[in-house]
Structure 1
Amino acid sequence: MAERHARIDAENVTALADQYRDTRSLTEALVEPLSDADATIQSMEDASPAKWHLAHTTWFWETFLLRDNAEGYTLYDSDWPYLFNSYYEAEGDRISRFSRGLLSRPSLDEVIGWRAHVDEAMQALLDRPECADLILLGIAHEQQHQELLLTDIKHAMFQNPLGPEIWKADAAASDEQPDGWFEHPGGIALIGHNGEGFAFDNEGPRHRVLLEPFALSRRLVSNADWKAFIDDGGYRDARLWLSDGWAWVNDGRHDRPLYWGEDGRCFTHSGWQARDPHAPVTHISYFEADAFATWAGARLPTEFEWEAIARGQHAENEPAHDAAGGNQLDDAGPVLPVGSAHLFGDCWQFTRSAYLPYPRYQPPEGAVGEYNGKFMSGQFVLKGASCATVRGHSRASYRNFFYPHQQWQFTGLRLAKDI
């Protein structure tokens, strides 16, 4: 599931405990505005209810840390693993994915109570160095679910004709992005995690890749760019689309990004807002990204090209603009994510690279080995992190991955070209 490259020593135990508590607290802060009904609904099979995210992340701590490492610990409720296991075959049977939205019981309050019970039990493990690797993994896992929680509840609220808001806020206007290209002369590039700090197992092993000369756009494709694509008949021109993409357009009658209205507005966590022409376009599929790149006379980058350019950028040194990533709260709740002006933090950027294992990749042993490796089929790699991504996950080697038809994440694109 994940691979630790830097061991935790006694000096860092306090920092690890603080990170655990901050992560757990933020998850609950994100759902604080939701009613039990809000937290229970499931809008599609790709998404999960907010209550399920709260419970599944707690199941993870109980299953992979407390069950085997906390002396005398017994499961909070022996029936709940069946409800909140996600896809770990080694952990036994579980309900079907689309049935998650049918779980009116346990209630939201009962799940919060379970979280408190697990947090109290975890205190005995937070200072044990032999548990540090799994604790770091669990923190990263819950942080991933914080991003999914934000995107899933947005999709759920979008189904409501009233367009309800989760947080009351006006969208900040974006600055127009600078034009130009990052040019790369090609040659051998080192790809993958460099071995310092935490990384998921799919980010390694580090290996060499031969690149031809290329350029990567300095800016993300904007809403205004996408409007021009639509106005030019981009969704009606079969020549621009991959065969599967053209079938997707016609079968689903797709003619715009997800959350775009017909009146110049788009749906956000704050309800319907005026669409910002300078903001990066988001909530597009791989099929749409590829068609736009063809229309623009360019192409999508490979994940290796993107990473080679990004190696000189360090998102952790940028100002933390996003609350979901920066663990920042104000009096009204989480500050809405807005992203940054660099390669990281605005939206996940599609590459044309298939999500496959790197040379010499081996999944970890045991149930946690099911986290990444078994999904390396039929998906595409995205880079760069989104406005909803935890800031610490904004690293050049991070590999997100989705199926080509999916739109509900904060997915966009940055163009590339040969030189």
Structure 2
Amino acid sequence: MTARALIIGAPRSGSGKTSVTIGLLRAFARRGVKVRGIKTGPDYIDPGFHAAATGLPGLNLDSWAMEPGLLRHLANTHAESADLLVIESAMGLFDGIRSEPNRSGAASDLARLFGVPVLLVLDVSGQSQTAAAIAYGFAHYDPQVSIAGCVLNRAGSERHRTLCTDAINDIGLPVLGTVLRDPTLILPERHLGLVQASEHPEMDAHINRLADAMEASLDLDAIFNAARPFEIPGGSNDRALAPPGQRIALAQDAAFTFLYPHHTHHWRAAGAELVPFSPLDDEAPPADCDVCWIPGGYPELHAGRLAACDNFRMGLAQFAETKPVHGECGGYMVLGETLEDADGVTHRMASLLSHHTSFAKRKMNLGYRQATLLSNCPLGREGETVRGHEFHYARVVSPGDDTPFAMIADGLGKPIGPSGGRRGHVSGSFFHAIAAG
């Protein structure tokens, strides 16, 4: 059976796309549908919720960072074991950067590239018939993007629902259900977005509440039928990030979770073995591995505990004497000399690089990045360009004296300058890699 696919889009962030998506994923799974979630754009957290709702790994598809061939390869691989793909948009449906056609990072790129229709989630709080004007604009803004119907979210009453529904039906768009305002359906957040699914104390119960709400409020049969068969040409994975080694020691615990699912899938498919270890449990990277990868996450929330993990720090230093160690964002922070937490307390870190970082002196950094590597490293060869992004509030307060790791530019190619550091076999930066450039 060919999988069907549907994009969950909205006019803006905060409209309720994630809650609707998670609820639909669990509701369809309850029906015996083999449903899988996909998130557009650079987002580590929502794929974890998709996996929790379905019991199957999530996926990111980023039209700016990934060439169309890689997008097709990843999407087809994900669809092989699915009846239904539910693709959650980042931000607003058309929100991306100015770039070549269908390379903006917006979910609308995937709607055009793959011919996938959109279910539009409208937060109708504070409005009624105006919701129809918004829906009309979406339906006519881009003739290559098909709006299959609308879901109304956060309606205040049955009268409110009727006013919005009648107005939208009058412009020729079906309303496939309405979710009434319910504060208990809101997912908890922190500074980088939602609290991760693995940290939510009652995650499964909350997902079931969302599924109950979707089953009671939405026409699941109509939504399934609105999805179109997902039939796209095969792609290529030659622009995927190559495995950094044969046996990869992967830091993995509550402090280090931000590694894209497509990386781990590709690395395993290429024959690499991922060997997890927990810095928070004072574990060092296994000595029989040939590279250590420390992903991003929330080390700033665990800085005191990490500082007390002597076995981790000493074992990491011993590993780095002969083998590559790479840190992304939070991993980069831990490789430095010190990390200042939100309370202004400074904690010692691994001291394998010479920079100092602070979460108390915050400054948000957010955006696509192109990193040109200045030496051979776990991300690639000297001179190669890797596409990715930055999203962090911590910042370097003392740069140290290490050699820069890469020269970075923004998503439009405007130079930003040197990024990160490297010393011996150790490298790291705030840059998160998504795909080869």
TM bucket (normalised to shorter chain) is under 0.3
Name whichever structure is richer in helix by fraction: 1
Say which one has the larger Rg. Answer: 2
Looking at secondary structure, tell me which structure has more strand per residue. 2
Taking structure 2 as the reference length, the TM-score comes to 0.26
What is the TM-score with the length of structure 1 in the denominator? 0.27
